[in-house]
Structure formats: C-alpha cells, structure tokens
Structure 1
Amino acid sequence: MKQLFYFGYEQAKSCLFPVIIFLTLAITKMVEVPFIARYDLILYICLLTQILMVVFKFETFDEVKVIGVFHLIGLALELYKVHMGSWSYPEEAITKFFGVPLYSGFMYASVASYMCQAWRRLELRLVNWPPTWRVVLLSAAIYFNFFTHHFIFDFRWILKIMTFLIFYRTFVYFTVKKRTYAMPLSLSFVLIGFFIWIAENIATFFGAWRYPNQQQQWEIVHIGKVSSWLLLVIVSFMIVAQLKHLKENREMSRGKQDQSLQVI
C-alpha cells in the first residue's frame, strides 16, 4: 500500500500541467471574467503555467522542447479535424484561427508534459526497444491515419495489431522508492489511453470542445474514442522515447570524448 501511495503521488506530480488545464476549464466555465474571451483567458493561463513550471524547475528546457513539438502536432490535427467537422469550439475568441483556439495545442502538450515528468520521476527504462525505422514508420502511419481515414479505409485496427507485434517483447521498468517494477509497454498504452478518455469526458463537460452529438446537451464520450486516444498515446510515447534515446546517445558520445581527452 505504501508503494501504491508513492506511485500515485509521483503520478499526481507528473500530472500538474493537465490538472491546471482542467481546473482552468472548470473555473472559467462557472465564473465569467469580463473584458476577455474564455478561450483567450485559458491560453494566457496555459502560457503562464508553462513559464512558471520552467522558472521553478518543475520542467527542464529539454522537456519544454518536447512539449513544443507536441503543441505543433496537436494544432495541426485540431485544424484538420475541426475543418472536417469531427468536433468544434463554439465560443468566440481573439486567439482563434480557422475555428481552433490556440489553447487546444496545450491539451496535447500536457500529455507530453505528463510523459516527460513521469519518465524522469519514475526513472523509466525500456527493454527490447524495436529498431528505430520500425518505430518511425509506425508513428507516421498512425498519425497520418487520423487525416486519411476521412477519405480512405480506416487502418486503426491494423495499426493496433502492428503495434502489438512490434512491441510485444518491449517492457517498461519503473522505480518506486528504490523498488523496480516491470510492465508490458502495450499495457501501459491501453491504461494511459483509458485515463485520457476519462479526462476527455471531463474536458467536454466543461466545454473545452464539443462533439456533434454534444451540441444540444452534454453526453458521455463514446467508449470507442479510447481507441483513438490509444493510438495518439502510442505516437506520443514513441516520439518521447526516441528523443530520450537520442539524448542518451548524445550524452554517451560526449562522455567517450571526455574520456579520450583525459587519456590524451
């Protein structure tokens, strides 16, 4: 029970950015702030939060770079999905372009923030990570399927099977109070996707965005959306893992160079 408590505590600290976003959505839904549109206010709070997390060393500059990548990836997906009518942002705002408020990118960035912090706090280590070319191709296929399934066949179930086949030998090791545990990486994808689906229900309840069936009144998000979040989690994790891998290789190279200089 103590280990579970410490695990939950570290997870809660890793979720600081998403929690602030949810609190902002809830408070701005219940309390109307004059002279500023709600979506604009949410964006400014997200920006301030990001700055403060760096200032107080809650996040590193390297993690902010990763988060920035996800912000751009998320905005690109949002612009396309809103254009296709998958969901909408009904409220007006100055910082809203082609129907998409800029704060929406922070919702994707908050997932990256959680992953980066959980990786650092729980000392994540991957065993039997597949070759880089397979990871890159799978990530690209999953991401572009979000765009192409509107016109051609939806390959999501094929992509899920491919993910299992590629990662079935991959385990993630994490440490809680000097005790190390292991979990199949595919299982971690499912668990994170499920909890993001729960978060999505909270977000839509507070009007972060609306699906077509929620225009008149709020309804629970269809359980099938878990599969979409599962795929997005896979892409997110693979990007973070690859960047971590590149950073480790760079640090190892620097270490070898320093050793060579010392020998000389």
Structure 2
Amino acid sequence: MPATPPTSLSAYTSAERALDRRVHAWLDRAPRTGWVSWLVELLAFTAKQAWACVFGAAMLAVIFAARLWWPDGAPLARNDALTLAAVAIQFAMVAFRLESLRELRVIVLFHVVGTGMELFKTAVGSWAYEDAGVLRLGHVPLFSGFMYAAVGSYMVRVYRLFDLRFDRYPRRWVTALVAVAIYVNFFSHHYIADLRWLITAAVVAVFVRCVMHFRVFRRRLRMPLLAAFGLVAVFIWLAENIATWSRAWSYPNQAGAWELVSPSKLGSWFLLMIISVVLVAWVYPPRPRDGEPTPQPTGERLARTAR
C-alpha cells in the first residue's frame, strides 16, 4: 500500500501504518515532477485499489479455486467449504488489523441487507444456488452474505485509504430516502411496476453536482461521484461473471450452460452503490475538502446531540 501524507495516517489501522512507513522510505525518493512522478501516482493508485479489494479478491479466489479443485463427492459440501473459508477470511481481516471493529459494524450491516435480498430473490427465482450443504438459510448458502460484505469492506477501506472528500455532497437524509427506495424496488418490482429507471433518474438528480476528491500519493485528484459509482459497478459485474462461471450461483439463462451475465445487471449494481454509500456514511460521515463532516439539517444535528 503506497504511502500517503501523515495527515491521513490516523485513518489507517495499526498494520497499515506500519506498512505505510516502509513504503514511504522507498516512494519518498521518487521524482516530484515529470512522467516518472505520474507513473508513481498510477502505481500507488493501483496498489491502493488492490489493497482496498483484498477481502473481495480473497473471496473471489476461493470461489474460483473451489470450482477448479473441490471434488463433487467430498464429505464437506462445496458451499459449506466456501462459508467456512469466508468466515476465516473475515476473522483474518480483523485479527491482522486490516479492518477495524468500527468498520466491522457496517460490514455486518451489509451482511444483513444482502442476506435479506438473497432470501427473497432466490425464492422468486431471480437466481439460484446449488442445494448441497447444511450452512444455509432456506435455499441461500451463508457464504452469500460475505459477498455483500466484500463490497462493504471495499467501500470502507477505499474511503480512508484515499482520504475521500466531497464537494456538494447531498444531505444524508435525502440519500437515505433514495437508498430505501432502491432497496424496496428490488423486492416490489416483482409485484408492481418496476421503478428502477425513475429511481435512477432520482439518483442522477441527487448526485449529479457531487464531486469526489481523492489523494493518491502526492496528488489529490477529483472525479464526479456518479462516474465513480459507474466504474465500481463495472468491476463488480466483471467479478460476478467470474463467480457465476465458478458456479457460485447461476441466473436462469445460465442453467443449461454458462454465458455472460447480462449487461443490464450493471444498472442493478449501480443502484447497489447508492445503498453501499449510505451504509458507509453511517460509519464515515462524508467530509468536504476542508476536512469537516458535511453539515446536516438542524433536526439531524439535534437528534445526534440527544444521543
């Protein structure tokens, strides 16, 4: 993980601070101008993203390995093995101080939100898992919740690793209402009209003015927040293709033989980003460039004071 200025080190875990000091000793010698400095920034960006993805990458590696090497007739069902591996990964993330207990709260919340959706979506046939194994709720193997937790882990880690700041971040109560509408529509569109395009338009209206500022190594760059949502959605969709090829789950069109996950799922993952951001904002309130938390409406401030 590349080094960052000391002002942001307080956001790191103790393991990350130790690693940061070691990397500083090497990167501080890099030129501050010219193409080499930009190459260093690119390498730092790539390394930080990889570090933020460590939970998700470990989960995907286990799923991929199980497809290649786990025997079909093994006494321990593959889904149960994936669940035990996911628990081990989560335990290691906390034990080796790659995640803080504070971050674990929001990751557990991702578990709950994701598992609730899994129970419903499998019941209505949106996708399916193999029935083998005992570590499951209904037709949902317990490792599925860890896939949502991997998204949560990435979100909280990228927030602090890149020292994210925001211009014109919407009021959090507004983003919470949009997130609730998205989550409800994931269920309700099976029974009433699908409002995802209307909700997507609302997302654009709410976030279109918001700009995300992030520090790589020496430089602080910026990007429209909607563009960041879209890019993350693309990478989740790519990971989903690897997972479905590995038979972690399958969509109806993949029942006979694997085929590419429909690009229409990009819209679903884009909307999931809004839910993810709202959950992460519970742990890390969005900060403007001056470093103070984004001001909240008077009612929310009073409620927080009362607590």
TM-score (structure 1 length as normaliser): 0.91
Q: Who is 1:189 aligned against?
A: 229
Q: Helix, strand or coil for the counterpart of 1:26? A: helix
Q: Helix, strand or coil for the counterpart of 1:110? A: helix
Q: How far 1:35 sits from its partner (Å)?
A: 2.1
Q: 1:249 to 1:124 in 2, by over 3 A?
A: closer
Q: Who is 2:62 aligned against?
A: 24
- Matched to 2:126, the amino acid is S
* Cα distance in 1, alignment partners of residues 63 and 236 from structure 2: 16
Is the counterpart of residue 12 in structure 1 residue 50 in structure 2?
Answer: yes
Q: How far 1:3 sits from its partner (Å)?
A: 1.1
Q: CA RMSD in A?
A: 1.7
Q: How far 1:51 sits from its partner (Å)?
A: 0.9
For 1:170-193, what per-residue CA distance to the aligned partner results, in whole angstroms no more than 9, with x for missing partners?
A: 111110113101111111111111
Q: Who is 1:254 aligned against?
A: none
Question: 1:20-169 counterparts in 2 under 5 A?
Answer: 20-32=58-70, 34-169=74-209
* Cα distance in 1, alignment partners of residues 271 and 176 from structure 2: 14
**Structure 2 unpaired stretches of 5+:** 1-38, 294-307
- Matched to 2:171, the amino acid is P
Count how many residue pairs are aligned between Structure 1 and Structure 2: 250
Q: Helix, strand or coil for the counterpart of 2:223? A: strand
Q: How far 1:234 sits from its partner (Å)?
A: 1.4
Corresponding residue to 1:238 among 275, 278, 281 = 278
* Cα distance in 1, alignment partners of residues 174 and 96 from structure 2: 38
- Matched to 1:190, the amino acid is G
* Cα distance in 2, alignment partners of residues 208 and 103 from structure 1: 9
- Matched to 1:176, the amino acid is V
Which shifted more, 111-120 or 125-134?
125-134
Contact 2:210–2:224 at 8 Å: present in 1 too? yes
Contact 2:103–2:283 at 8 Å: present in 1 too? no
For 1:54-99, what per-residue CA distance to the aligned partner results, in whole angstroms no more than 9, with x for missing partners?
A: 1111111011111000001000000000000000002411112210
Q: 1:80 to 1:183 in 2, by over 3 A?
A: same
TM-score (structure 2 length as normaliser): 0.78
Contact 2:102–2:283 at 8 Å: present in 1 too? no
Q: Helix, strand or coil for the counterpart of 1:204? A: helix
After superposing on structure 2, the runs of 4+ consecutive aligned residues of structure 1 that deviate more than 4 Å are 246-250
Q: Helix, strand or coil for the counterpart of 2:249? A: coil
Q: How far 1:246 sits from its partner (Å)?
A: 8.6
